[in-house]
């Protein structure tokens, strides 16, 4: 565990954590979950430090913030399966423009494939479907995702 001067670690006690129903109730599992909670706490504080730097530099009110991970939790039924615990990945999107749903969550499914269309939408680039790809054949590039910005307004994508 590296040292970050602004980080005040929160250590979770393995014998006090509540386990999700799909994790076996063993000491080893409890220790792993407690370590995971400490990691998440460190991440949460790290996001706060980044937001503070954006604020101090005067860019918080003109920056689209997207945070995600490439997988779910590293526990049974997590990561590489289609159980809820396997497809649940963290994602935070914060826009200084979209205030309608500030501090709200959505149950809409999203994917990392949606990040590029979201950024293109943020920058007002709507003609991206006509852009040439960089592949050898020169075919048209197809993006598989869609913008997540509508989720910041009404909560559901169309």
Lowest mean pLDDT among 13-22, 35-44, 117-126, 138-147: 138-147
Phi, psi torsion values for 144, nearest 5 degrees: -90, -15
The neighbouring-strand residues paired with 140 are 132
The pTM (predicted TM-score) of the whole model is 0.74
In the 8-state DSSP scheme, what is residue 91? E
Handedness of CA 33, 36, 42, 43 (dihedral sign): negative
Domain membership of residue 3 (yes or no) is no
Residue 56 and residue 14 share a domain: yes
Tell me the pLDDT band of 156, cut-offs 50, 70 and 90: low
Domain range for 22 is: 8-96
**Among the residues of the chain, which ranges form H helices?**
27-56, 84-87, 115-122
Residue 85 and residue 29 share a domain: yes
Q: How far apart are CA 20 and CA 64, in angstroms?
A: 33
Q: How many domains does the chain have?
A: 2
Q: How far apart are CA 59 and CA 61, in angstroms?
A: 6
């Amino acid at each position: 565990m590296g040292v970050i001067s602004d980080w005040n670690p929160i250590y979770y006690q393995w014998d006090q954590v509540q386990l999700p129903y799909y994790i076996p109730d063993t000491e080893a599992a409890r220790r792993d979950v407690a370590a995971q909670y400490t990691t998440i706490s460190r991440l949460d504080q790290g996001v706060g430090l980044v937001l503070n730097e954006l604020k101090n530099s005067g860019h918080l009110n003109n920056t689209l913030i997207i945070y995600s991970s490439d997988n779910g939790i590293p526990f049974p039924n997590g990561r590489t399966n289609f159980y809820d615990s396997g497809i649940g990945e963290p994602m935070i999107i914060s826009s200084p423009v979209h205030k309608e749903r500030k501090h709200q969550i959505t149950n809409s499914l999203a994917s990392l494939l949606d990040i590029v269309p979201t950024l293109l939408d943020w920058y007002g680039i709507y003609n991206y479907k006509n852009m040439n790809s960089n592949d050898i054949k020169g075919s048209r590039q197809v993006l598989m995702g869609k913008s997540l910005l509508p989720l910041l307004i009404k909560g559901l994508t169309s």
